[in-house]
Amino acid sequence: MKLSDLPNIISVIRLIAVIPVVYLLIQHEFGWALILFAAAGASDGLDGFLAKHYGWQSRLGGILDPLADKTLLVCCFLVLGALGIIPLWLVLAVVFRDLLIVSGAVLYNYRVAEVEAAPIPVSKVNTAAQIVLVVAVLMDAGIYSLPASWIAALTWFCLMTIIVSGAQYVWIWGRKALRQGWKGD
């Protein structure tokens, strides 16, 4: 192990942190879940800073970092949806969008060309919207009651960014696939 592995180690720890976050949510320990969720978010910023600032980027890190982020968010959405805190239709939209993107990337990688993952701007907005919504509902459920109109606005904004970013990924990568054609054809 060397110092340049630190961003990947942080990502692995963040991935493991999903387990206690889910446990805390199931136990209705929303304040503690929020603290651990925030710590995971801070670690995401830290590993990204270290990787970019010191040139410690790696292909493994390019996989681990978004995997840890998506696993944490999707698990939080699934549990919060099961608890009735986030609407089930929004949870289904989050999961469907992610499955669409991942399956499209796998198909593209094996049938067209190697995928160089680079999030589009609206996808970053979507991730931020999902994070803000999780933080807001955790605060509302356990620490400080927020106006229902805020939660509703965040919920609808999150849905809008899910739809727009999902459609953009399909549009962008679909056009690339049509231009390049299938491997072996």
Give me the pLDDT at residue 115, please.
83
What is the C-alpha to C-alpha distance for residues 50 and 57, in angstroms, rounded to an integer? 9
Give me the pLDDT at residue 116, please.
77
Domain-embedded: residue 159: yes
Give me the pLDDT at residue 133, please.
97
Domain-embedded: residue 174: yes
Domain-embedded: residue 160: yes
Looking at residue 57, its amino acid is: Q
Per-residue pLDDT of the chain (185 residues; tens, 9 = 90+): 888 899 999 999 999 999 999 999 999 999 999 999 999 989 988 998 999 999 999 888 888 998 999 999 999 999 999 999 999 999 999 999 999 999 998 999 888 888 877 789 999 999 999 999 999 999 999 889 999 999 999 999 999 999 999 999 999 999 988 998 887 65
Number of domains into which the chain is organized: 1
42: Cβ–Cβ under 8 A, 6 or more apart, which residues? Answer: none
**Measuring CA to CA, which residue among 37, 46, 31 is closest to residue 17?**
37
Domain-embedded: residue 78: yes
Domain-embedded: residue 42: yes
Domain-embedded: residue 35: yes
What is the C-alpha to C-alpha distance for residues 174 and 172, in angstroms, rounded to an integer? 6
Give me the pLDDT at residue 72, please.
96
CATH number of the domain where residue 89 is located? 1.20.120.1760
Give me the pLDDT at residue 184, please.
66
20 is in which domain, residue-wise? 3-180
Domain-embedded: residue 62: yes
Domain-embedded: residue 185: no
What is the C-alpha to C-alpha distance for residues 48 and 42, in angstroms, rounded to an integer? 10
